[in-house]
Amino acid sequence: MATAHIESNLEDIASIVLMPGDPLRAKYIAENFLENYKQVNSVRNMFGYTGYYKGQKITVFASGMGIPSIGIYAYELYKFYNVEKIIRIGTCGSNSPDIKILDIVLADTAYSLNTFPKLFDGDLEKEYPASKQLNNKIMETANKKELNVHCGKIITSDVFDVYVDFEKYISNYPNENYLATEMESFALFYLAKKLGKEAACLLTVVDSHFDSRVVTSMERQTSLNTMINLALESVVSFD
């Protein structure tokens, strides 16, 4: 089968999907972490790969940037390819001095001012939760690996907040302790709820309004590898 945006056959896609934003990061994960992988999508250069990690069949499929893009790919994977679980693995900006650059954040809920749910089916909610089951597995795995993971509420924004005044930006949101800002998870969590699926979001902090230091490419890649490995190790612990 094929959809408007995915050329894969049904059997090409695993029931568990890791979803980075960057197509080249999907390629990197397949080449460096998966065994016996094959490319299963190249439409619009939104690369997808399916292979095995410790015997578990896994698809790594890029989402692109922003809610409209992940909304398309997550919906088609859930609806037409029998995907049950999607774990977004991406980057974010810190909204708190306690969340440092290169820290790992696990989203408990995602809040957004975006109208995606309203336009999709009239849903007016502004906050959607991640799967408790997936999050519990991820935190359990992180604890076993002695990794410090911050779990809490995040913002999904349509604006790259680094470009705007932070105090004005953050004043648009309820007075809550949002750990970080990214641009996709709100739609992913909404679609999972709507379609009776599961979704989670792991993020590596790559910029902060409270820290002006510039990380090296090696530091960034090492931190992203830690997040990727955490997601993969969590996947193989699923029943």
pLDDT on residue 239:
61
Residue 121 identity: D
What is the reported pLDDT for 107?
98
Q: What is the pLDDT of residues 48-82, one digit of tens each?
A: 999 999 999 999 999 999 999 999 999 999 999 99
Q: In angstroms, rounded to a whole number, what is the distance separating the alpha carbons of residues 36 and 221?
A: 23
- Residue 132 to residue 128: CA distance in whole angstroms: 12
CA dist 81 → 2, 45, 62, 132, 204 (Å): 9, 19, 15, 23, 28
Q: Which of 152, 212, 149, 199 is nearest to 180 (CA)?
A: 152
Residue in the structure block whose two tokens are 């809490």:
152
Q: Quick one: which of 205, 179, 230 has its CA closest to 18?
A: 230
**What pLDDT was estimated at residue 216?**
80
How far is it, in rounded angstroms, from Cα 38 to Cα 33?
13
C-alpha dist (Å) from residue 138 to 52, 149, 220? 19, 9, 21
What domains appear along the chain, each with residue ranges and CATH number? 10-235 (3.40.50.1580)
**Alpha carbon distance 44, 140 (integer Å):** 37
- Do 94 and 103 form a contact (C-beta atoms < 8 A)? yes
The pairing of beta strand 149-156 with beta strand 48-53: unpaired
Residues 6+ apart with CB under 8 A from 185: 88, 107, 110, 130, 154, 156, 199, 201
Q: Where are the alpha helices (DSSP H) in 51-131?
A: 67-80, 116-121
Q: What is the DSSP letter of 196?
A: T
Any idea which residues carry the catalytic annotation?
A: 207
Q: Which residues of the chain have pLDDT under 50?
A: none
In angstroms, the CA 208 to CA 237 distance is 32
Dump pLDDT digits (tens) for 205-217: 999 989 988 778 7
